[in-house]
Structure 1
Amino acid sequence: MARIAIALTPDFADWECALLMAVARSYLGVEVVTASPDGGIVTSMGGLKVTPDISYAALDPADFDALVIPGGLSWEKGEAPDFTTHVHAFHGGGKLVAGICAAASALAATGVLNAVAHTGNSLGSHSKQPGYSGQAFYRDRPQAVSHDRVITAPGSSPVTFTMEILKALGLWGPQAEAEIAAFSREHR
């Protein structure tokens, strides 16, 4: 069974990971594990209080197939954790890393986007990150981009973000396609 780690930050954007978590867990039998900085309760932008399963310190790439980071207000507030060590451990270990919205810029800060096709909220937000030099690989588009076990998306694209993660994990099939189709009908 696949295992996905979702790294939640205080004020995380709950809608950016909700579809992935629901489809993966409820329809595809994936184990979804949530993490917070210290394993304590985090509150989303929408006021949802989540009691995570583990702390960031317990995020061992050997135990997971993917590390997914939703965006949120922590980056705007200057309070977001540095995910560099985790991102490099997962990606270097052949695991999938994914970031949406502000978390795509967090991936830019780690340097993992410097040689892969990627997107995000804007090239400008990535370019503010000192570890980022991947401007030539930036794709200005409203859908998620997947390349070499790295998935990025602007905050407006949780559906394609979910699709690309499921595809990259080998979970894309009739059941996943049917569930995503139901959620994406509005966008056709």
Structure 2
Amino acid sequence: MFTIYVYTLDTMADWEIGYVTAELNSGRFFKKDAPDVSVKTVGISKEPIKTMGGLNIIPDCVIDNIVMNDKSVLLLPGGNTWDDPKHGAIIKKATELLSVGATVCAICGATVALARAGLLDQRPHTSNGAGFLEMFCPNYKGTDCFVDKLSVVGDNLITASASGALLWAKQIIEHLGVFRPDTLEEWYAYFNTGETQHFFALMQTLPKANK
């Protein structure tokens, strides 16, 4: 079973995690033999945080509760408070997770936090455009590994720009192997284009449609 840990912080960009958490939590488009998935929110404490959209979230668990194995997946959303030193604890945990083969997924401002810790220096990654990480992270040494795309998979690290939430979700879902390939392609095409033909094609890929 995969456990998805969604890090919660004040001002978190709640829309950036919407696509991926909705699909992993609901399982509505999972293939027949998909592994079980559990989605949990995690915080520095169990005190509520307020997202950028004004939603109050009480974390399900704290950082020390994160299980250290390759079935753990850490999602780091963007937010305006990543400069706060208290978030160093989750970046330390991200470092440990990467070392045991777990998956770490960061988007927007969270990529700056990873860059400051040196976690992007030798791994393929992206962020909010070329030059963004250099602007906010003087010690960043990963220029040669930067890929100017909306979302990038670098082994067990998946990073995305602020505008790459949909592709980021697609790559995370693909990495976990919970959708059939044709389901994933039609899902992405539908939400990327809005064309109804992809919605009907998506429905035809689901287990019930193929009985």
Q: TM-score, normalised by structure 2?
A: 0.79
Query: Is contact 1:34–1:53 with CA below 8 Å preserved after alignment?
Result: yes
Task: Specify whether residues 87 and 177 from structure 1 end up closer, same or farther in structure 2 by C-alpha distance, changes over 3 A only.
Answer: same
1:14 corresponds in structure 2 to 14
1:158, CA displacement in angstroms? Answer: 0.6
2:209 corresponds in structure 1 to none
Check if 1:108 corresponds to 2:115: yes
Runs of 4+ in 1 over 6 A off after TM superposition: none
Task: Specify whether residues 63 and 57 from structure 1 end up closer, same or farther in structure 2 by C-alpha distance, changes over 3 A only.
Answer: farther
Distance in 2 between the 1:7 and 1:67 partners? 7
1:115, CA displacement in angstroms? Answer: 1.1
Aligned residues: 185
Where in structure 1 are there 5+ consecutive unaligned residues?
none
Residue identity matched to 2:147: R
2:105 corresponds in structure 1 to 98
1:110, CA displacement in angstroms? Answer: 1.9
1:36 corresponds in structure 2 to 43
Distance in 2 between the 1:6 and 1:94 partners? 18
- Identity within the alignment, %: 29
1:2, CA displacement in angstroms? Answer: 1.7
Query: Is contact 1:100–1:120 with CA below 8 Å preserved after alignment?
Result: yes
Query: Is contact 1:40–1:55 with CA below 8 Å preserved after alignment?
Result: no
Distance in 1 between the 2:140 and 2:71 partners? 26
Where in structure 2 are there 5+ consecutive unaligned residues?
31-35, 196-211
Q: TM-score, normalised by structure 1?
A: 0.88
CA RMSD in angstroms comes to 2.2
1:159, CA displacement in angstroms? Answer: 0.3
Written as runs of structure 1 = structure 2, the 5 A alignment for 1:90-169 is 90-127=97-134, 128-129=136-137, 132-141=140-149, 143-169=150-176
1:3 corresponds in structure 2 to 3
Task: Specify whether residues 169 and 85 from structure 1 end up closer, same or farther in structure 2 by C-alpha distance, changes over 3 A only.
Answer: same
Deviations 1:54-75 (A, max 9, x none): 1122223238521110001113
Distance in 1 between the 2:3 and 2:183 partners? 18
Task: Specify whether residues 105 and 186 from structure 1 end up closer, same or farther in structure 2 by C-alpha distance, changes over 3 A only.
Answer: farther
1:106, CA displacement in angstroms? Answer: 1.3
- Indicate the structure (1 or 2) with the bigger Cα radius of gyration: 2
Distance in 1 between the 2:105 and 2:139 partners? 17
